[in-house]
Structure 1
Amino acid sequence: MKRVIFSAVTGIAAIAMAPGAQAATFPVGSANFTATPGPNGSVAGAFFNTGIAAGAFSDTFTFTLPVNGFGSGTVTTSTNFVGSPNDLDFTSVLINNTAASITRLSSGAYEFAFANLVPITAGQLNTITVTGLSRGNGAYGGQASFIPSVVPEPSTWALMFVGFALVGGAARFRRRSTNVVYA
């Protein structure tokens, strides 16, 4: 009976002393998340975290864009030796709750996650969430790109309708003026 109680107390103490999950949020413009606007409404961004203490972690990068479009990105990590203090394993990488594909190379020494053409909604808080397990001094880095959806402006729609009307009118006029003569 004493062994059972001792084992239970030891187990509870181990759980209580275990490091809790670390959570961090980085808005665009912070030291860990930068974005650069480009031509035609495109945006290129870079995000990272370094010195991640041992244990589970969850980092969320937040951003808002003025127009709807699509985002793509990659996140990578590497280590000298699997299980060393700078080893880090991805549990998941999500862009607006869309899971990125995670690939592990060299028995997990190198990991990368990627996603392509994830819908990004204008005016809403969009997120990139990286979760994983660090062995004591983990680090990762990522890049993201955004391109707006191609939606014609109202003047483009109006010009298109005028063009259809002109083509339809020309076809009708041509049909009326054609005279068929039989020999």
Structure 2
Amino acid sequence: MKTAIFAGALALAVSASPAAAATNLLANGSFENGFTGWTVNLGPLPQGTAPVVINYNQASNYPTGAFGEAIGTNNVSSASPDAVGSRLAYFSSDTASPHTLSQLVNLVAGVRYDIGFDYYAPANGISNPFDATLGFLVNGASVGSVLTAGSPSGTPAQTWLNFSSSFVATSTGAQNVAFRFNGGGVTAADFGVDRVYVTAAVPEPGTWALMLIGFGAVGASMRRTRRVKPILQAA
């Protein structure tokens, strides 16, 4: 009985508290340290302009800015555990050879992971004649929709937006998480990216409460079982 009461009280306390903060499994998800922790691959074809890390509100030419257009500070709401900071990654290649930005993350089979990032399409890129795409991949497989900039149905210009999706890991160990940027021709649209994250899905407080009540009930049942004494048969 005491166990059940304790479990119920603990469950109520947990349900009244906020959910535990998630941890970003990616290193340097806000690019405050440049591309430290990331691997940049420019593909086998002519390289074009490589991805770079630039500052917000920096109206300078590539490679320190977005070809003269200042990208305003990220102001979109995000589930990322990371702060916005002062820097972002900028993709602007016109070649058909995909540019990727990746890192290895340790995942556990059967666990659901939330992923996301913030993105921005500069106006001068959208005005270019060719589209560009940006996809998020885990072990080479796309997760969520592939983003498009530069077409009537693509990303709006000069607006910070949020991409989010989830996936269930199919194996345990280090796995490749990557962006893949493709420019459609000379000249193509471009993307700014910030606050990239991969987090293990955390149960809601109510779920923890139900789990604790269940554990309490199991514990009480085990105590009752241990207290039952065998009945001795008379000889």
Scaled by the length of structure 2, what TM-score is found? 0.39
More strand by share: 1
* Larger Rg computed on CA atoms: 1
